[in-house]
Amino acid sequence: MITDFFSATLDNLMALFGISVLIAAAIFAAGLLVGILFRTGTCRFVAGLMLKAVKPFQLGDTISGSGVTGTVASIRWFNTQLVMPDQTTILVPNISLMGNTIVNHTANGTRRIDIRFGVANGGDIEAAIDIIEEVLLKDPRVLAEPSCCIAITGYCANGVILNAQLWVSVEDYWKARSETMVCVRSMFEAEGIRINRRLGEAHGCPRESENDPVCSLNPQPDRS
């Protein structure tokens, strides 16, 4: 019945407008479709051309764009292949990258590490700063320039927040970050400095971002 309906409709249109008008309309619609597809394809090609010309990133760079972060494995005319931290591969359309902000994390060869340390109430703040500074000075991966910075960045009901900023080479970023946190924590414990993970938003000290780590340890409850 559906076939009969369309056949009858087509016959009525042909009788009303004539076959030449229908053919012209069909040609116009086809031309419009081809134009849209050509324009879309052209835009995608131009985006790839711009990426290759401007070169906001190169093979091996770690970038963020279009809501994803990964290492550039290949740059093609229509898309860019990224390898994610979990080793999965994703293809990002170049037109999407060029239409949004691109952050190149490795273009300059160095990266800054920001680590927050939550020192519980009663802790020796000066000693904590000295320990962090000692750890950074002894680590050969930490660059002398730009120099490290350690400062108090906040106070909470549960303690004080110290922020350490250090610069390392791109290839040392993750290991230096992790090992610095482990080493400082161990030295804090050895010196009796309590560090508190409960310096989060629920206790009045909001983090600057979800990725902002607090190197911390639950304080022992006061049983006195």
pLDDT tens digits, 157-179: 788 899 999 999 988 998 999 99
Which strand (E) or helix (H) includes residue 2?
helix 2-17
Q: Could you tell me what percent of the chain has a pLDDT over 70?
A: 68
DSSP state of 195: B
pLDDT tens digits, 85-141: 888 999 999 888 888 899 998 888 899 999 999 888 888 899 999 999 999 999 999
Q: Is 200 a residue whose pLDDT tops 50?
A: no
More confident residue, 138 or 224: 138
Question: Is 106 within 8 Å of 170 (Cβ atoms)?
Answer: yes
CATH 2.30.30.60-classified regions of the chain = 1-106
How high is the mean pLDDT of the chain?
A: 77
DSSP-assigned beta bridge partners for residue 70:
63
Architecture of domain 1-106: Roll (2.30)
Q: Is 215 a residue whose pLDDT tops 50?
A: no
CATH 3.30.70.100-classified regions of the chain = 110-215
Domain 110-215 in CATH 3.30.70.100 = yes
Q: List the structure tokens of 159.
A: 């303690």
Q: List the structure tokens of 60.
A: 């091996």
Coil, strand, or helix at residue 14? helix
With cut-offs at 50, 70 and 90, classify the pLDDT of residue 186.
very high
pLDDT of residue 104: 93
pLDDT tens digits, 39-53: 555 677 677 778 888
Whole-angstrom distance, CA of residue 1 vs CA of residue 12: 16
List C-alpha distances in Å: 77 to 22, 33, 38, 118, 120: 39, 23, 15, 48, 54
Region of poorest pLDDT, from 29-43, 77-91, 206-220 = 206-220
Detail the DSSP E strand segments found in the chain: 62-65, 68-75, 79-83, 89-93, 103-104, 110-120, 149-156, 159-169, 214-215
